[in-house]
Each structure stands twice: as C-alpha cells, then as structure tokens.
Structure 1
Amino acid sequence: ANNATELLHADFDGNADQIRSVVGQPMGDIYAHPIATNAAGEKIVDANGLYKLDGDNWEKYGNAMPDFEGGFINNFEYKGITLDFVTDFSFGGSIMPTGIYWLTSRGLTEESLNYMDAASGGLAYYVDADGNGIQTSGAAGPNGEQVFNDGVLLDGVLQSGEQNTNVISQALYYAATYNWGGPQYGNSRYELYINENNWVKVRELALGFNLPQSVTSKMGMKRANISVYGRNLFFIYRSIKDLDPEQTTSGPRWYNNINNAGNNPAFRSFGIQLNTSF
C-alpha cells in the first residue's frame, strides 16, 4: 500500500550489518558496508593504517536462508548387536557469528595467530616519530628505533591518492577489524563476519545389544535392547571452524539465527538406555 520495495528486518551493532527482504530477491539478504574506494576503484586506507568503510553504501554478502536441509536415520543390526545413528545437514545459508570474531579481535582464536611474527607472515617495521609504521630490513630504525616483526601492510591508497605505507601491528589490525560497530564507530569489517554456514553433523549415535530371549521371556518381554548413546558428538563437515552452527539463536525471531553473540555454548551428552517391547 505504501509502495515499499524492501523490508528491513534487523539492523545489527549500530548500523554495521542489516537483514533485508527486497522485492524480486530471496527473503533474508544480509548486507554490510564495503571498503571505501576512490574514483579509480582503489581501496582507501585511513591514516591509522586500516581500511576505511563506505558508510553511505551497502553491499549484499549473503542470505540467511539455507538452500536445503535434511537428515538420515540409520538402523543396523547384526547378530544381536545394534547400531543406530542420526545425521543432519544444512547447506547454503549464511550467518554472522560475531561472538567468534570478537574473540578473534582479542587474540583468542587460531586465526588471530596470523602475522604475529615473521614465520606467520608478519612484516618487520619500526615506529617513527609521527607514530607511523615504517617497513625495514634492518635490525633497528635509523635512530635506533626498535624493530617489530608483527606488521601488517594493507594494500590501498590514502585519501590523497598516495600509496599506503603505514605498517600497523598485528594486534591493532585484529582488534580494529573484528571489533563492534558500524563505520561511524571505527574500521570494523562486518563483510568478513558473513560466511556460508554448511555442515553435516552426527546428532546421535547409539551402540547396543539385544538381550537373549531366554532372559526377556522370563521378564514377560518380547524384546529388550540396552545401549549406550551420545548426542551432539561431532561434525563430519562444517564450513565455519570453532562454531556449532546450530548455536546461533540470539533472540526469538528467525533473523536472530544468524548471530551467536551472547549465546550459550553447545554441549555433548551421554547415557544408557533400555528399550523394551511386551
């Protein structure tokens, strides 16, 4: 009635990320701000050595809806030994697990080990009197400055058009790139948070045996099976490491399912069960 062409379902983290449904497009597209570029298409680097975000524009980086989901229930029996397992899978939908990336910003994930030294890709640099990181191959700066080996140099140009030469520390890169908030707050790149969430999980596995009829008949049972089981045991495959992809509900609505911030971790459970028939 109001001639609207799109519906905004959610705005996350101070205009850093949005979920929209646009006429002619699938429901639940995920948008974030791209890196700002100049007229020549070159990426713009701020004076702090980090990419500048384009706060005036949005780009689509994924969709919250899986392409397909399903599962298999399998039962096997051989000479009284039983094996039952349930496998579930999901492919195609994207999520934005900010909880993981905030851990990365604080150096608590494997990804944050990149660039921490020369062996992991870090550049050698010293910090000059203006606070800029200067790449070097020497053991010290020209005035005896200490040389660090955890440098990151982003490919791009300054607002002036000059090539970026400001080497920043690995700690600053991760702390700022994977932090909270939209472009008005800093340099957090939420397009890096949005990833396709594909997984295959063994949801339940049970190994048991059938009690002999000589035993069950005395108890008035036709059949009895005792087994040990485990639930939420392991993944056969998952595209996002360090995450149970089903632990993403941070609210009651469907679009809250793309985020895992503030959610409890997943857990396994084990037990013994007895199944009977009379």
Structure 2
Amino acid sequence: MTQLLTRPAPPVTAAPAVPKRARPRRLPTHLTLLLVCGVWTVPVLGLLVSSFRPAYEISTTGWWRAGEGRLTTDNYRDVLATGGFGTALANSLLITVPAVVAMVAIGSVAAFALARMSFAGRRAVTVAMIALLALPVQMTLVPVLRLYNAAGLTGTFAGIWLVHLGFGLPFAIYLLRTFFAGLPEEVFEAAALDGASTLTTFLRVAVPVSGPAIASVAIFQFIWVWNDLLIALIFLGGDPGVAPLTVAVSNLVSATTGQGWQLLTAAAFVAMAVPMVIFFALQRYFVRGLLAGSGK
C-alpha cells in the first residue's frame, strides 16, 4: 500500500501593519476651511435674519437677538410693491437667461472646433482668445459704447445680450476647449470610422459627455451676468423699463440714503436668492466640470 505524502501548507503570516497617518496633521486644514466657511456664511445668515425684522429692531439690536423680537414679511412685501422691483426681477431674467444660453451654445461649438478640428490659424486664434482673458473689461467700455450709440443699441435687451456674450465668450471657450481636448481620442476615431460628420460627432459624442463642463460654464456666466451692475448702468442707462435687479437695488440705496435697512436687506436677499438656488441645484455638476476641465 502506498502512502500519500502531502506537502504541509505554508504558515499564514499576517500582513505587515500599515502605519496610520497622523490625523492631527489635517486639523489645521479643517479649522481653516471652517473659518473660511464661517466668514462667508455668517454675513449671509445675518442678512437673511435682518430681512425679516422690523426697522426699529434692526436699528436698536443686533441680528443675533432676533429671537427676542418678532419676525415679519412686510419688508419683502414693501420691496416687491415699490420701486419697480417686480419689473426689475423680470428684466434680470430676460437679460441673464438668453445671454447664458447663447454663450453656452456658441462657446461649446467654438471650443470643439479649437480642440478637435484642424484648420489654418487655430493656434493663433487660441492664443488671441487667452489674451482676451487678461484684458480688463473696463478698457473696452468706452469704444464699445460709442459703437452702440452709433448703431442705436443702447438701452435695449439685444444690446446687453451682445455685450455679455462678447465679454463672456473667451472664458467659456477656454474652459470648454480644455474639457474637449481631454476626451479620449479613440471615441472620435470610432465616430469617424462609422461615417459620422463633424456636426454629428459634436452633437452625439461630445455634447452628451460634456454636461458637467457645460453646467460649470453656465453657472459661472449666470452668476456673472445676474450680479452685473457696471455694464447694465452703462449700456442700459437708468430706464426702469429695462433695468435689472442690481440697478433697482442701487437705486433703492440712493433713495433711502442708506437708512432703510429693512428694505435694503430684503432687496439684497431677493437679488441673492436666484443665483444661490441655481448654484446649489447644479453644485455637483459644477465641481465635476471644474475637475474635468482642469487639465488633459
């Protein structure tokens, strides 16, 4: 009878312990982030609380003592009922939404062309576009205003759309071009082998995967156009029929000579509410778009 010999199993050795990183090293970073968040959050919270307080309480006690008094919505009702604030809110939407839509549409097409198409002068166009990012907007206001006066575009929605489109396109093209340039080359080669045209490749390949980058550009430009005061004052003037919300808040400050705090806080929070809702609703796309467009 044969005896079966089995080789003994090797002894099981425990994996070497991985030294844990010292967590206290992250503590200063976390404390710094909390401090920065507090610096930005506390004034907004104070503005919100003050907008619901009566005028005499705002002038006598701090916003942190709001629990001792009463809260009211009269400030918002007074702001929306006086000073053409409702019209200004509608004007801000009429100015911002078309300007952002046109900027995203034209910017994405131009960015795709600079990133994925070969044509003469592409490098020169890219360099010129980057140079426009370093050009201060204030340097172009006077010559552009002269052109607008000659063309009769001042004080019109079409005119303000064109101004925001011209000032915002370089940034939109730059960010989207970086994103398109980082997409895998194999995807576009496969589309070309399937006989897809350049337009089809852009619409069915590039656009569906570039949602985060497009959302980032849209958020940036929405906040920029919505909060703009200088360009609105120069190219729209003081006409209340076309004045946006920022101009209405500025006029309210002048009308109250800085004394009607209850109205100013309510007006300021109304102006802040829309971009805050847009940002928090699209925050995850915003962060993903920035990370995707940060490099190739």
Q: Say yes or no: TM over 0.5.
A: no
Greater RCO between the two (CA within 8 Å, min separation 6)?
Answer: 2
Length-normalised TM-score, structure 2: 0.22
Length-normalised TM-score, structure 1: 0.23
Q: Name whichever structure is richer in helix by fraction.
A: 2
